[in-house]
Structure 1
Amino acid sequence: MTDQPTQETLANLSREERRFEPPAELAAHANLTAEAYARAEADPEAFWAEQAQRISWAQPYEQVLDWSNPPFAKWFVGGRLNAAYNCVDRHVEAGRGDKVALHFVGEPLGDTRDLTYAQLKDEVSQAANALEELGVEAGDRVAIYLPMIPEAIVAMLACARIGAPHTVVFGGFSADALASRIEDCGAKLVITADGGYRRGAASALKPAVDEALVKLGDEGPVEHVLVVRRTGQDVAWNAKADGGVDVWWHEVVGESSTEHVPQAFDAEHPLYVMYTSGTTGKPKGILHTTGGYLVGASYTHWAVFDLKPETDVYWCTADIGWVTGHSYIVYGPLANGVTQVLYEGTPDSPERGRWWDIIEQHEVSIFYTAPTAIRSFMKQGREIPDARDLSSLRLLGSVGEPINPEAYVWYRSVIGGDRTPVVDTWWQTETGAIMISPLPGVTAGKPGSAMTAIPGVGADVVDDEGRPVPNGSGGLLVLTRPWPSMLRTIWGDDQRFVDTYWSRFKEQGYYFAGDGAKRDDDGDLWVLGRVDDVMNVSGHRLSTTEIESALVSHPKVAEAAVVGAKDEDTGQAVCAFVILRETAGDGGADIVAELRQHVRKEIGPIATPRQVMVVPELPKTRSGKIMRRLLRDVAENREVGDVTTLADASVMNLISSGLGAGKGED
């Protein structure tokens, strides 16, 4: 790897002086207090053993951690459990069956459904019986390709109940992406729907499954396709009764018994495979197992969100096709017995205030969303949320990428009414659960900083040689010891697992996350994004995140993306793409010069953008991450590359057509 950041070159972060102390009431009754840090640091294994008591074990474990063959960890060795039992049955057995588990809100207005824990248990049991009837056994893989409807959660838990690892593929992915994932993990069954609702229209899903099966051919692994009727669209049908593969959910699951005895599996039994993009183009199947993952997801959900399951109404806006949906919609929240909102659609359908209406209606108290959503609301202005009663909110969370300080402050002020803590969480598909975050009852929030590793987790910022950097310096973000929810391997490729995550700092035994980070003068952590997104300008390595934050701090800017483009004089030059707030109008002729000067003032002359381009939208994946690779293509006047993973592939046409030759230059 070349052009890695070093401690000198990533130390340019602008100062952040604002602090928000924990509310006194929250701090007085916080689930975790400051003493947890020292207790966890003194004996991490004892701390994790304490957290393991949060879940029910059918057979107690004999050893907390087996790290005899690093980096291949085994957690809670010898223990046996069932993830679905932990998420539904035990709450019913404890007398909480009438408690609402899911407030489902479909995108069409009025399309709502509440499921209690008792009802969820019945539906999961029915689905488990149906899967077994279709020949699925423990160890068989199941692909799930569904919209954000209750059946998606039911399907995941039914797989967990019978020990069949699931791989959930986001419903917006193409037939090619679906086929590659089915093939890689050898999925025996696909669970899908006729379609789902998105932006006011029915969006088809089953045709992509049909196309994927054609691509896989007659030798493909899929034996059955189980189809939920969601929209009523016409679909091509290859009925099982006629020798085909298609079966209706309502016929097979709906007619199954609600009685099903969950089987206990080893703590290291595979729970799911989640695919994430690989630099080689071949997706990486991240394997998570059952015991450690469930402990990590339930502990972090309880600790980071200060969860009070008896009274809180929780809402995470992620899709279950991403790891955030796995850990903080399905396994963490349901293991903790909380009542939560499940929303099918987009934030602005049928109107821009849809999310705030849902918060008001269901009196949501904990809200967890992505910075990209927050910035899109900043662009619209505060009038829309101000028209709703959001006083039920007591805690806000941010996930997916570093949050700009200005977006953080807007989120806390406008959505949180200047009273709610914001937990800015850093973690990855690979880590399975939150690793770095403020604790809302302990930490004084600092806008833009993920602050510190949570109790039980070891994290550091190191230089190229693996040495910790001093305060005020930047480097590489590493995790310094194993943790229960860690990935166990890459599906079918142990060597790639070792090479990708553990080879860089093999001597120290560190997990390298691929992110750059900085310790500020107080010792708090700032995640600076992927190391690949660091620019080398005249020998200075600059973080794209830092310059983007400077741009978003300007009152006319709602969102910004920065890339490094080749430059004959400086090696790379800073190129910025900005979306203006609606209140800024078109920004006026002087906006480019104004923004270049603003970055110069906030960070320094070396960070001044060569170009600032005003654009209507930015290219984002469906999980909300900006695809800077495509913007680099534009900045360097290359043909735009593969856009299949974009939420809206037409965005690149909008950007390219909107940028006339030289437009946006100073």
Structure 2
Amino acid sequence: MDYRTAYANWRADPDRFWLRAAKAVDWIEAPARAFSSEDGVYGRWFPDAVCNTCHNALDRHVAAGHGQREALLYDSPVTGTKRRLTYGELLREVQAFSLTLADLGVTKGDRVILYMPMVPEAVVAMLACARLGAVHSVVFGGFAARELAVRIDDAKPKVVVSASCGIEPKRVVAYKPLLDKAIEEAAHKPDVCIILQRPQQPCDLTAGRDHDWGKCRARAIAEIDAGREGPCTPVRATDPLYILYTSGTTGRPKGVVRDNGGHLVSCAWSLPAIYDIGPGEVIWTASDVGWVVGHTYIVYAPLICGATSVLYEGKPVGTPDAGAFWRVCAEYSVKALFTAPTAIRAVRKEDPGGTLIEGHDLSKLRTLFLAGERADPETVRWAERVLKRPVVDHWWQTESGWPIAANPVGLGRLAIKHGSASVPMPGWEVEALDEAGKPQPRGELGAVAIRLPLPPGAFPTLWNDEDRMRSAYLDAYPGWYSTADAGMVDEDGYVWIMGRTDDVINVAGHRLSTGGIEEVVATHPDVAECAVIGVRDDIKGETPCTFVVLKSGANVQGPDLTSGVSSLVREHIGAVASLSRVVVVDRLPKTRSGKILRATMKKIAESEPYPMPATIEDPAVLDEIESAWRSK
């Protein structure tokens, strides 16, 4: 089935489309109904079904005779460790940890916070929670204690699972002191903590509260060998699988809920249809399990579909160099690589000629997928040129759980338009709306919104906060979900995401997309990456300025760079977009998932106070931005 047919089938009969997709799931009680519009904030999917996500990810594959198939390939250049886990081995580990959790009082519906590095035990803990029907909430390892405390108070976990430390290329991050401080600050106190002791930096355990992962595992494995069973707990399709916190505009994070049934169906449909990955094939999602990308396409979708997933504890550059991605792809015969544009820009900056690809056998690699932020066309063209393979940008959010717009390689790759996330997937009706909530003409910039109901796999609500769900996402445009992204839909139905709605700037009455200006700036031959912000101006309202990071070896001088970049912007966009400043910096401030912190940069430029972003990768970069801005 090709894309046009699939999308038309969904439009013609959504319930029939999703019930057919649901046949890929092993149900305890199969759904007779696809959707109930009477339940939840906007409706619920598969309301009469019963299932278990862990069973679909592990047990059914082992039962079908695939226990020796590789499930997880762990590669950690920061520790020099590699480990391969088959489906049978991973199931044994998950059964053991589920018994440990059960013995500590965890039952269906209880919350468990996971504060873990990128190690196999993080995946084991997620699946063990799913096995019990407990609700996991993964918090990015190394998050500040205050942020972890806020999440503890919101989720109210019975257990927190953590590690003694995380490993960065140049430092060891002690997790245990952060965890202890978070629990001290939180009003809610978890009953138990389970700590994975890592040899790089073991930690002391708190008597009466903390349990050693290794000792718990040894005890549970012995019990399994003695005949103890750890079966999967049946849960309703509408029961929560996990909570994943995303930043809120008020400073209070939003707990995005993912349910079991819709998530199973979206994973089972999207991995083969979009990424062209089938049983036994290798996908590497170079992200972190702390983000939605890691949840869906490191852990759940590959395992649900019987594929093999790479779990990488390293960086795109510096572990040891900008050839790390190509080494991993070659070593594990990766068919699809999925990462953020910022990772490719980092590789391009260090190895602009792509010379580090040489010597690596990439014959199995078919496609590079990019998401997490807007992929500027220049970065896409560079990757296409050095890899000699299709580079597919696609767009989704924590709330959506899986791609909203993509180029579905598994259904037959469509024409690629640089700068576009391609076309809406079945389940997603995407429009750019004007301020009155009416669809804009094709090609006109607007607020990107999705007609309700959202499809299976999308979030049904926020954790214990349906009022905020409505006010944050649904009230602005009745009948639509507001994505808070700005963009357009072109005459061919391709979706163009130009940035967040607050990244649209108003220059003398002209609405300009900072993403569109960044596209042009990035075409300068000496620019590795850039960020454009609008800065307050007494005459024009706002004027655009850009921060640029130069490629390694670039020798362009300040006036020449400013002149060259400004000329490009005037030529391709017009005089209205003339840059007020071009500021050269060594790096841009980013979140740990690679998103550029433009709003914070704007506050620095306008001398406004700002809170330290909870997800920032390195706070020191903000001082560098401020110094560069003040010095010009």
Which consecutive unaligned segments of at least 5 residues does structure 2 have? none
Question: What is the CA–CA distance in structure 2 between the aligned matches of 1:643 and 1:56, rounded to whole Å?
Answer: 41
Number of residues of Structure 1 aligned to a counterpart in Structure 2: 620
Cα deviation 1:216-262 (Å, max 9, x = unaligned): 25xx23011101122342423212xxxx2110011112320443111
1:223 aligned residue (191, 198, 204): 191
Q: Give, as a single letter, the amino acid of the residue that structure 2 aligns with 1:235.
A: C
- Residue 337 of structure 1 is matched in structure 2 by 306
1:246 aligned residue (192, 200, 210): 210
2:447 aligned residue (476, 483, 502): 476
- SS of 2:528's partner is strand
Which consecutive unaligned segments of at least 5 residues does structure 1 have? 1-30
- Contact 2:447/2:486 (<8 A) preserved: yes
1:358 aligned residue (294, 309, 328): 328
- Contact 2:345/2:529 (<8 A) preserved: yes
What is the CA distance between 1:156 and its match in structure 2?
0.3
Question: What is the CA–CA distance in structure 1 between the aligned matches of 2:87 and 2:628, rounded to whole Å?
Answer: 51
- Residue 604 of structure 1 is matched in structure 2 by 574
- SS of 1:363's partner is coil
What is the CA distance between 1:462 and its match in structure 2?
1.9
Question: What is the CA–CA distance in structure 2 between the aligned matches of 1:523 and 1:34, rounded to whole Å?
Answer: 11
Cα deviation 1:631-656 (Å, max 9, x = unaligned): 11232234554244210111112222
Question: What is the CA–CA distance in structure 2 between the aligned matches of 1:480 and 1:649, rounded to whole Å?
Answer: 38
1:502 equivalent to 2:481? Answer no
Q: Give, as a single letter, the amino acid of the residue that structure 2 aligns with 1:463.
A: D
- Residue 12 of structure 1 is matched in structure 2 by none
Q: Give, as a single letter, the amino acid of the residue that structure 2 aligns with 1:339.
A: T
Question: What is the CA–CA distance in structure 2 between the aligned matches of 1:298 and 1:318, rounded to whole Å?
Answer: 20
- Contact 2:583/2:628 (<8 A) preserved: no
- Residue 432 of structure 1 is matched in structure 2 by 401
Aligned residues with identical type, % of pairs: 40
What is the CA distance between 1:486 and its match in structure 2?
1.8
Greater mean alpha carbon deviation, residues 116-125 or residues 540-549: 540-549
- SS of 2:314's partner is coil
- Residue 371 of structure 2 is matched in structure 1 by 399
2:285 aligned residue (316, 320, 323): 316
Please give the TM-score of this superposition, normalised by the length of structure 1.
Answer: 0.90
- Residue 116 of structure 2 is matched in structure 1 by 146
- Contact 1:197/1:231 (<8 A) preserved: no
Question: What is the CA–CA distance in structure 1 between the aligned matches of 2:152 and 2:295, rounded to whole Å?
Answer: 19
- Residue 383 of structure 2 is matched in structure 1 by 411
Cα root mean square deviation, aligned: 1.6
- Contact 1:172/1:622 (<8 A) preserved: no
Question: What is the CA–CA distance in structure 1 between the aligned matches of 2:51 and 2:275, rounded to whole Å?
Answer: 25
Q: Give, as a single letter, the amino acid of the residue that structure 2 aligns with 1:412.
A: E
1:552 equivalent to 2:530? Answer no
Question: What is the CA–CA distance in structure 1 between the aligned matches of 2:523 and 2:200, rounded to whole Å?
Answer: 46
- Residue 581 of structure 1 is matched in structure 2 by 551
1:449 equivalent to 2:429? Answer no
What is the CA distance between 1:69 and its match in structure 2?
4.8
Question: What is the CA–CA distance in structure 2 between the aligned matches of 1:476 and 1:435, rounded to whole Å?
Answer: 15
Question: What is the CA–CA distance in structure 1 between the aligned matches of 2:75 and 2:534, rounded to whole Å?
Answer: 42
1:511 aligned residue (478, 481, 490): 481
1:347 equivalent to 2:316? Answer yes
1:193 equivalent to 2:157? Answer no
Question: What is the CA–CA distance in structure 1 between the aligned matches of 2:203 and 2:157, rounded to whole Å?
Answer: 22
Question: What is the CA–CA distance in structure 1 between the aligned matches of 2:84 and 2:447, rounded to whole Å?
Answer: 45
What is the CA distance between 1:374 and its match in structure 2?
1.1
- Contact 2:528/2:551 (<8 A) preserved: yes
Question: What is the CA–CA distance in structure 2 between the aligned matches of 1:71 and 1:494, rounded to whole Å?
Answer: 7
Q: Give, as a single letter, the amino acid of the residue that structure 2 aligns with 1:385.
A: I
Question: What is the CA–CA distance in structure 2 between the aligned matches of 1:362 and 1:396, rounded to whole Å?
Answer: 15
1:255 equivalent to 2:219? Answer yes
- Residue 392 of structure 2 is matched in structure 1 by 423
Q: How does 1:65-76 map to 2 (within 5 A)?
A: 65-69=35-39, 71-76=41-46
Greater mean alpha carbon deviation, residues 483-492 or residues 63-72: 63-72
Q: Give, as a single letter, the amino acid of the residue that structure 1 aligns with 2:189.
A: P
- Contact 1:107/1:197 (<8 A) preserved: no
- Contact 2:68/2:86 (<8 A) preserved: yes
Question: What is the CA–CA distance in structure 2 between the aligned matches of 1:502 and 1:393, rounded to whole Å?
Answer: 40
- SS of 1:473's partner is coil
Q: Which structure is richer in relative contact order (CA contacts within 8 A, separation 6 or more)?
A: 1
Q: Give, as a single letter, the amino acid of the residue that structure 2 aligns with 1:467.
A: K
- Contact 2:145/2:178 (<8 A) preserved: yes
1:459 equivalent to 2:430? Answer yes
Greater mean alpha carbon deviation, residues 594-603 or residues 652-661: 652-661
2:361 aligned residue (361, 379, 389): 389
Please give the TM-score of this superposition, normalised by the length of structure 2.
Answer: 0.95
Q: 1:69 to 1:79 in 2, by over 3 A?
A: closer
Question: What is the CA–CA distance in structure 1 between the aligned matches of 2:39 and 2:259, rounded to whole Å?
Answer: 17
- Contact 1:98/1:118 (<8 A) preserved: yes
- Contact 2:42/2:452 (<8 A) preserved: no
Question: What is the CA–CA distance in structure 2 between the aligned matches of 1:571 and 1:252, rounded to whole Å?
Answer: 61
- Contact 1:52/1:295 (<8 A) preserved: yes
What is the CA distance between 1:339 and its match in structure 2?
1.0
Q: 1:457 to 1:630 in 2, by over 3 A?
A: closer
- Contact 2:108/2:233 (<8 A) preserved: no
What is the CA distance between 1:523 and its match in structure 2?
3.6
